[in-house]
Amino acid sequence: MGKVMLEVRELTTKYITRFNEDIYAVDHVSLKVEEGKSLGIAGESGCGKSTLALSLMGYYFPPLYYTSGDIIINERNISGMDPDEVRKSILGKEIAYIPQAAMNALNPTQKVINFVEDVIHAHEPTATKKDIYDMARQRFEILGLPAEVLQKYSVELSGGMKQRTVIAISVILGPKVLIADEPSSALDVTSQKMVIKMLRDLMDRGMIKSMIFITHELPLLYNVTDDIMVMYAGQMVEHATAEQAVFDPLHPYARGLMGSIIVPESGLRGHKLAAIPGVPPNLKKPPSGCRFAERCKYVTPTCRAVSVNMREAANDREYRCIFAEQELREMYKNE
Ligand SMILES: Nc1ncnc2c1ncn2[C@@H]1O[C@H](COP(=O)(O)OP(=O)(O)O)[C@@H](O)[C@H]1O
Ligand SMILES: [Mg+2]
């Protein structure tokens, strides 16, 4: 087993609304990412993916609050750490985060090199402009971005180029873990491919030590990540290798997310997913039984009555369902 870069144990976090209601958007989530590995997180919009990303970096600002659980980054437990301390000593260096729609958040009055300077100065206040430029140029070129980009304003870059620039800036300090939140979702197909290739290059060249790739499209993860975790209504429902999660999902929801896809490689991404009827439960009042029960075609009265924990299946995988692995396989066979 490789060195563990990030370990999260039973992490629970919540939003507190203006009306003082609790929304448990991340409910007892556990995960581990080893050196050289990437973990994909998939699930419909609103299931808690972005909240999980913020939570596992220890980045808590109202209305988001830490409730319980452990977050260990590079052998250091950061749960309960002051968010300002997290910003100073964790973000960028230990863990880098590319927020959803990051490319649109770049300040249009700044040149790309200014963003790079900000990131580096936060950690190395004495670095000279020349050192920073030389280092940035070298890094950008390794990643296939021309050095001219450094002198441009973000508005002068195309969407795909902007996103790759954001990624290059985020990883400039060589983080142990990179969290990319829907990094290719807003892009055209060609730019998506380039972004994904870039993320893989970062891993291959050791410019990041591990990665978490978040998307609402499960199949997209197949060629990018080693392991996949599927979330539903704030909880993990499936945790397996990419191969298992995509071609042999156990949880009925993970199966629904995959639709009818069975074609490997090229066919994967282009396929239209069959939508799962119904909507996820309200996280202010989640049902006491299985959260997917309302939408599950295999639902039984027991599903609505008892809550289910993650359980182990063969080959080191986990899922959250009252049915045993063998029972699920039988049911799927008869579909
Ligand atoms: N600032 C907020 N205040 C209250 N609730 C929020 C806030 N941001 C997100 N949520 C709730 O948390 C849940 C998870 O949201 P999010 O993590 O953004 O999901 P995803 O990234 O999977 O689309 C959603 O149901 C959403 O309503
Ligand atoms: Mg999100």
Each domain of the chain, given as residue ranges in start order, spans 4-107+172-275
Task: Identify the DSSP state of 129.
Answer: H
Tell me the β-bridge partners of 64.
Answer: 15
| Closest C-alpha to ligand 1, atom 14 | 48
Q: Given this model, what pLDDT does residue 272 score?
A: 47
Q: Which ligand places an atom closest to the C-alpha of 101?
A: 2
Task: Give the C-alpha separation, 141 to 138, whole Å.
Answer: 5
Which token pair is 267?
């066919």
154 lines ligand 1 (CB under 6 A): no
Q: In what order do the strands lie in the sheet with 38-42?
A: 95-98, 177-181, 210-215, 38-42, 227-232, 235-241, 318-319, 311-312
Q: Given this model, what pLDDT does residue 293 score?
A: 97
Which token pair is 279?
């909507």
What's the count of helices (H) and strands (E) in the chain, helices before strands? 11, 12
38 lines ligand 1 (CB under 6 A): no
Q: Of ligand 1's atoms, which has the minimum distance to the CA of residue 234?
A: 14
Nearest C-alpha neighbor of 140 from the set 274, 217, 17, 132: 132
Going from the Cα of 45 to the center of ligand 1, the distance in angstroms, rounded, reads 9
Query: Where does 4-107+172-275 sit in CATH, by number?
Result: 3.40.50.300
Task: Identify the DSSP state of 291.
Answer: T
Task: Give the C-alpha separation, 40 to 227, whole Å.
Answer: 6
48 lines ligand 1 (CB under 6 A): yes
99 lines ligand 1 (CB under 6 A): no
SS3 of 169, please? helix
Tell me the β-bridge partners of 212.
Answer: 39, 179
Nearest C-alpha neighbor of 229 from the set 74, 62, 37: 37
The answer to whether the beta carbons of residues 247 and 268 sit under 8 Å apart is: no
Q: Which ligand places an atom closest to the C-alpha of 64?
A: 1
Q: Of ligand 1's atoms, which has the minimum distance to the CA of residue 51?
A: 17
Going from the Cα of 150 to the center of ligand 1, the distance in angstroms, rounded, reads 34
Tell me the β-bridge partners of 70.
Answer: 9
Predicted TM-score (pTM) of the model is 0.94
Please list the pLDDT of the chain residue by residue as tens digits (335 residues).
789 999 999 999 999 999 999 999 999 999 999 999 999 999 999 999 999 999 999 989 999 999 999 999 988 999 989 989 998 889 999 999 999 988 888 899 999 999 999 999 988 899 999 999 999 999 999 999 999 999 999 999 999 999 999 999 999 999 999 999 999 988 999 999 999 999 999 999 999 999 999 999 888 899 899 999 999 999 999 999 999 999 999 999 999 888 644 444 444 444 445 578 899 999 999 999 999 999 999 999 999 999 999 999 999 999 999 999 999 999 999 87
258 lines ligand 1 (CB under 6 A): no
Start-to-end Cα distance in the chain: 38
Going from the Cα of 25 to the center of ligand 1, the distance in angstroms, rounded, reads 6
Q: Given this model, what pLDDT does residue 274 score?
A: 58
